[in-house]
Amino acid sequence: MLMRIMELAIAADGGNFPLNESLDSPIGRLFGERYRISRFVAGGGMGRVFQAIDTRLAGKIVAIKLLSLQLLSNPQLATRLRQWFEQEAQLSAILGKHSRIIQVTDYGVDAGQPYLVMEYLEGRSLKQLIESEGVLALERVLNLAVQMCEGLQFAHSLQTRVGGRQLSGVIHRDIKPSNIFVIDEGRLGETVKILDFGVAKVVGDVQETLHTQSGFVGTPQYASPELLRGEALDCRSDIYSLGVILYQMLTARLPFSPQTNSFGGWYHAHNHLPPIDLGAFSPEVPEAFARTVMACLAKERDERPATMAEVSDRLQAAMTTPTLFAPTSPAEDWRQVILSEQPIALPATVPSEPDTPKKPTAGRRHLAWRMILLAALAALVVLLLQAALSHRPIGLFQSVHHQGDACWARAIVSSIPRALLRVSSYSTSGTESATSPAPA
């Protein structure tokens, strides 16, 4: 038996429209001479969703959404509501081309009742998933987040013309767990479908938004600060809402604790209260992953990631980078975990420096020159001795007369020991000074 599809394209959780399908029940009614309503599925403030049978396609099961008859009874809103419903049908038909967004297959008006036909999904909403399982595993959060980013990036970057209007991107405006449908496909894993572009804002040459009497359409718990203030929006408003969902998947709670669960309470929380530190509830989340989630929750839109593609890239990069987690409190000093399973490779040995010829030191160079001088002086002494003994002056001593040669020779010979002693003393002291360390 097909599982129950959760709320599709409802503007706010817990609306005022009664969920009892016995009131103005369309069960058994044929819409567009094709779709026969079989049972009630879900409902909210602006419409109800039913399971139906496509009588033209061999009894194919579809989902059909009907706009609230109570809203249509208000003549001031009826015309604008029909325009809004038609816009949702056109937008959903275009956006449904992406595999992460629910497909809209037909649209029409039957006896004054607008209806929207969509694919029937088997599974459960992310809201149901969190309520039943609590905190989701980190890898599961990443898988679902990447798929949500893919679908919303497609919507934000959409460029097309519809009914003479140029569309330059579609902002969802109501991203929340009940508008994220999760389909379990067994071995293929879980698949995400984004629902409810009914309050989407078209960015282009014509911008139309359905407003309630309070001037706000959406869900305050997941709304961006600028959406709550009624300011102009861009894709970073959806990024903020996605940040709230990511935080909730990781902690099973919302990132803010307003004083009251009212529009005013959530307005104050989103605009003025800092989000509760993610590490206080989920310290095992990688630091870079947590920083990305908290960046999505920045009050100022310029401080958030610029696109859904950037959010996806940063989350995936955080899961592939080894991270050492600091404890969030002294009692959790033991929480030092590296999630990456890839070891950090270190070299087995430290490479040594290549052998290079050592340059001679200054002391060694001085010693070599002194030894050369000593050898030259010794050779000169030998020549002088030979000349003195033979009584023949040579070379440099040509000017010396033969008379007194013996006296001259004896003077030279007697001076040699003193000269050698001085040179030897100088050489020894110079060597010691060149080789001994300098005084401290």
Residues 6+ apart with CB under 8 A from 407: none
Amino acid at 406: A
Contacts of 436 (CB under 8 A, 6+ apart): none
How far is residue 367's CA from residue 99's CA, in Å, rounded to a whole number?
87
**Residue in 144, 146, 141 with CA at minimum distance from that of residue 285:** 141
Residue recorded with tokens 């970057």:
157
Angle at which helices 405-435 and 362-390 pack, to 10 degrees?
170
Residue with tokens 């102009």: 232
**Which tokens go with 164?**
């003479």
Q: Residue 430 corresponds to which tokens in the numbers above?
A: 């110079």
How far is Cα 153 from Cα 147, in angstroms, rounded to an integer? 10
337 Cβ contact partners less than 8 Å away, ≥ 6 residues apart: 284, 324, 325
User: Do 85 and 208 contact (CB within 8 A), yes or no?
Assistant: no
User: Which residue, 136, 172, 143, is CA-closest to 156?
Assistant: 172
Please tell me whether residue 394 adopts helix, strand or coil conformation.
coil
Q: Going by C-beta distance under 8 Å and a sequence separation of 6 or more, which residues neighbour residue 101?
A: 92, 95, 151, 154, 155, 193, 194, 197
For 44, other C-beta atoms within 10 Å of its C-beta total 22
The active-site residue, picked from 174, 205, 302, 333, is 174
Active site residue 355: no
Residues listed for the chain: 440
Question: Which residues are designated catalytic?
Answer: 174
